[in-house]
Every structure is written in structure tokens, then in C-alpha cells.
């Protein structure tokens, strides 16, 4: 536990020193000094908040209120979970967090007829996965995996350094291990990637200008490469589907994502304006009235506010398989 008086005095001194530097003559030395003081200020404040969060957990534990239910609520909140990770206070180990992350993206993979199995997380921080179902040997499996796993890894287990994918070929019974550096998973593809996408990859990237700057809770419909698309934003996350109800094929134009009655704050449901069918946005457009029906989700990348969507190059009737 830091000395609160000493910490407060150091914060005041750093703020005053920064003000003095800004008021003084500019120059390389002054800029370097200001940078060092700003970095120290951030470290001191971060340590203070970290100690405060740790103390809150201690108090909850000592009072007998830090039970599994409360822990689940804490780690289930993205903001709180990220703060716990930053300060090394997250109660779940990396294996558990990776497993939960894969569970979260499993509905998306399932919409492509595939699945993923977590084999191990090594001491060095490498995650070993196996593709299952239609993703196994699928020409676009690398695209599907990259899109489904990237954000999950960044938010759930930032300490992971690489992902090893055991993806057997459809023409070879011997598994071929591929090493995918996390850096490549975290690289946002820009619009040049769309032009350079290989037909053999099964998908090409196209700019989705209609979704740029789309505010939370809003939706839009548009046409890209002769494909009708429906895009909506739930919180900070953007979802894109082929425009068309899985039951009646009616356009989803004018439909907004709404919170499910009694559901969590980030739940979102789409209601077809034609037949009234309901779909779960976060579960890859799974049908709520009929589990055999689901919307057709499409992979999305956002780079500096520019949205791109992946559309199949070989057949527009099947996505990702």
C-alpha cells in the first residue's frame, strides 16, 4: 500500500514541474524533461489506482462478499476486467480467460459450420488450437480464425504471444501446425488489403463507407459488390450481416438493435419488419424463435475508423466455408 501523503505530494510536485516547463523557453532539453515527468506522473497515478482497486477487493474478500457471483460480475464487465488485467489482479488465469474468449466467439464459428478446440496454453504464452467442422481445411479458415480470435485475445489475454493452429488438410491426414504471431492477428487490414486479397483466400475485403461513424444503437443498409448488407452497432462493436431475413427474405432496412426483455445490458435483438422473426445480434444472428434459422454474418475490420467487410470471392451464396 503506497504512502498516500507522499504519493499526493509527488503528484502535486510533478504537475507543478510540468507547468513550469511549459511556461519556460522551449527546446529539446525542456521537451525531454517534460516527457519524463509526464511518464512518471502516469506511473504514480496508475500505481495509486491499482493499489486502490486491490484494496477494494481485499475489503470485499474480508467482509465475505467477494463470492463467485460477484467475481463473475466483475470479470464479466469489460472495463473492470481490463483494469484488473492492467494491475495484475484478474482472478482468472490465462487458460481460463482464453477458454472463455473462445466460448464467446464459438457462435460465430458455428454460423460457418465450424468450431475450435483449445488444446493448451504453454508457459511461454502460446495458445494451441485445433480447428473443427467446416473450418477444418476450409480455404478461408485462416480469415475466419483471424477475425474471430483477434479481438477476443486482445481483450481476454493480452499476455499471449502467439497462436498455434493445428489445421489438418483435407488431402492429408497428417496435421500441419501453423504459427500465427499475435502481431498479425492484431494488424488491421486497410482498404489496400481488399484490392490485394487473393481469390484463393475465399474472401476479399471491401470498404463499407455506410458504416463509418455509425453510432451505437443505430443501423444502416447498403450494397457492396452487388451484395445487400445490413450493419448495426451494439455498444462499441459493429456487426454486419447479409441483408435479408432468414425466414421470409424481407430486407432488414429500418430495423434497429434493441435490448432483449430481461437480458443483459449488451444483449441486442433484431426483429424482421416483414414476419417478426427475432435474431440475436451477438450470437452471429442466431434465430431466437427457430434455432435452425440464422442471419448470415460477415467478417468486419475497422482501421482508423475505416470499416471493411469480407465478401466471398468464389461463391456469394456461402460465407466462410
What was the pLDDT predicted at 19?
Answer: 77
Cα separation, 84 vs 66, in Å, equals: 14
Q: What is the model's pLDDT at position 127?
A: 84
pLDDT over 50 at 178, yes or no? no
Taking 70 as the threshold, does the pLDDT of residue 169 lie above it? Answer: no
User: Which percentage of the chain shows pLDDT scores above 90?
Assistant: 15
- Of the candidates 104, 71, 117, the one whose C-alpha atom is nearest the C-alpha of residue 237 is 104
With a cut of 60, say whether residue 273 has pLDDT above it.
yes
pLDDT above 50: residue 170:
no
DSSP letter for each residue of 93-150: -HHHHHHHHHHHHHHHHHHTTEEEEEEEE-TTSEEEEEEEETTTT-TTHHHHHHHHHH
Average pLDDT, the chain: 74
Is the model more confident about 111 or about 245? 245
318, pLDDT greater than 50: no
CA angle, 99 as apex, 120 and 130 as ends, to 5°?
A: 50
Give the pLDDT mean for 157-168: 73
Interior angle at CA 320, CA 129 and CA 213, nearest 5: 100
- Indicate left, alpha or beta for 202 from its phi (over 0: left) and psi (-120 to 50: alpha): left
* Whole-angstrom distance, CA of residue 16 vs CA of residue 37: 10
Alpha-carbon distance of 292 to 92, in angstroms, equals: 34
Q: What is the structure's pLDDT at 27?
A: 73
Highest mean pLDDT among 173-187, 248-262, 302-316: 248-262
**HSE on the CB side for 229, CA within 13 Å?**
26
How would residue 31 be classed by pLDDT, with cut points 50, 70 and 90?
Answer: confident
What does the pLDDT average to over 143-169? 67
CA–CA separation, 53 vs 59, rounded Å? 10
* pLDDT, position 136: 47
Q: Which residue has the cell 516547463?
A: 21
Give the predicted TM-score (pTM) of the model.
0.45
Mean pLDDT of 203-217: 86
Q: What is the pLDDT of residues 33-56, one digit of tens each?
A: 777 878 888 888 878 877 888 888
**Mean pLDDT, rounded, for 278-295:** 86
pLDDT number for residue 246: 94
Q: How many helices (H) and strands (E) does the chain have?
A: 8, 14
Whether the Cβ atoms of residue 228 and residue 242 lie closer than 8 Å to each other: yes
Alpha helices in the chain (DSSP H): 4-23, 28-62, 68-76, 78-86, 94-111, 141-156, 182-186, 191-196
pLDDT in tens, 58-79: 888 888 888 888 887 887 777 7
Q: Which residues of 207-242 are buried (b: 16+ CB within 10 A; e: fewer)?
A: ebebbeebeeeebbbbebeebebbbbbbeeebbbbb
Output the pLDDT for position 208: 92
| pLDDT over 70 (residue 134) | no
Q: Hey, what's the torsion of the CAs at 199, 203, 207, 211, to 10 degrees?
A: 170
Query: Residue 186: which of 286, 295, 303, 292 has the closest Cα?
Result: 303
Helix axes 78-86, 68-76, angle to 10 degrees: 90
Whole-angstrom distance, CA of residue 321 vs CA of residue 318? 6
Residue 103 has pLDDT above 70, yes or no: yes
Place of cell 504471431: 181
- Of 276 and 69, the one with more pLDDT: 276
- What is the mean pLDDT of the segment spanning 96-116? 76
Which residues neighbour 78 within 8 Å (Cβ) at sequence distance 6 or greater? Answer: 155
Q: What is the mean pLDDT of residues 168-192?
A: 40
Amino acid at each position: 500500500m503506497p504512502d498516500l501523503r507522499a504519493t499526493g505530494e509527488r503528484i502535486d510536485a510533478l504537475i507543478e514541474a510540468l507547468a513550469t516547463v511549459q511556461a519556460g523557453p522551449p527546446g529539446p532539453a525542456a521537451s525531454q524533461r517534460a516527457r519524463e515527468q509526464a511518464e512518471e506522473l502516469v506511473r504514480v497515478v496508475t500505481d495509486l489506482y491499482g493499489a486502490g482497486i486491490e484494496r477494494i477487493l481485499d475489503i470485499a474478500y474480508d467482509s465475505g462478499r467477494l463470492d463467485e457471483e460477484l467475481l463473475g460480475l466483475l470479470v464479466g464487465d469489460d472495463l473492470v476486467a481490463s483494469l484488473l488485467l492492467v494491475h495484475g489482479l484478474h482472478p482468472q488465469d490465462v487458460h481460463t480467460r482464453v477458454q472463455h474468449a473462445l466460448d464467446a466467439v464459438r457462435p460465430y464459428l458455428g454460423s460457418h459450420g465450424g468450431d475450435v478446440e483449445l488444446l493448451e496454453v504453454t508457459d511461454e504464452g502460446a495458445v494451441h488450437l485445433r480447428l473443427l467442422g467446416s473450418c477444418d481445411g476450409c480455404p478461408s479458415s485462416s480469415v475466419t480464425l483471424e477475425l474471430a480470435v483477434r479481438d477476443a485475445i486482445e481483450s481476454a489475454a493480452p499476455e499471449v504471444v502467439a497462436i498455434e493452429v493445428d489445421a489438418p488438410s483435407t488431402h492429408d491426414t497428417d496435421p500441419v501446425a501453423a504459427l500465427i504471431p499475435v502481431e498479425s492477428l492484431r494488424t488491421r487490414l486497410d482498404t489496400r488489403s481488399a484490392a490485394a486479397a487473393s481469390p484463393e483466400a475465399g474472401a476479399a475485403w471491401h470498404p463499407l463507407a455506410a458504416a463509418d461513424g455509425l453510432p451505437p444503437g443505430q443501423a444502416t443498409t447498403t450494397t457492396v459488390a452487388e451484395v445487400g448488407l445490413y450493419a448495426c452497432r451494439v455498444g462499441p462493436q459493429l456487426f454486419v450481416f447479409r441483408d435479408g431475413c432468414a425466414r421470409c427474405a424481407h430486407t432488414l432496412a429500418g430495423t434497429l438493435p434493441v435490448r432483449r426483455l430481461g437480458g443483459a445490458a449488451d444483449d441486442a435483438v433484431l426483429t424482421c419488419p416483414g414476419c417478426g422473426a427475432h435474431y440475436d445480434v451477438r450470437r452471429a444472428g442466431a434465430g431466437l424463435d427457430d434455432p435452425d434459422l440464422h442471419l448470415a454474418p460477415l467478417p468486419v475490420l475497422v482501421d482508423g475508423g475505416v470499416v471493411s467487410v469480407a465478401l466471398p470471392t468464389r461463391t456469394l451464396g456461402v460465407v466462410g466455408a
